[in-house]
Amino acid sequence: MNPNYDFFEKFGRIFYLMPDGGLHFSNENGELFKIPDDIPENEIERLMQKSLEDDYNYIFDLCKNNKFIYKADCLY
């Protein structure tokens, strides 16, 4: 996936979290959300660009119901 630094600065970061894998979104409050695995990377890139154009975070809409909870016994 190509980085979109404008999206990162405005809305938050998108990254792979190991060892669980998959893409995650971190908002401005530092909360983590797992992006569903069935969303292709090119769709995420498209939604990042659309978010900037519309000044609305479409990525958060994808993952707002998938808040990530850290596992106490896991090293990230």
How many CB atoms lie under 10 A from the CB of residue 48?
Answer: 23
Report the predicted TM-score, pTM, of the whole model to 2 decimal places: 0.84
Nearest to 11 by CA among 59, 64, 43: 59
First to last CA, the chain: 21
Q: What is the DSSP string of 33-53?
A: EEPPTTS-HHHHHHHHHHHHH
Does 19 have pLDDT greater than 80?
Answer: no
Which stretch of 3-7, 13-17, 46-50, 69-73 has the lowest confidence by average pLDDT?
69-73
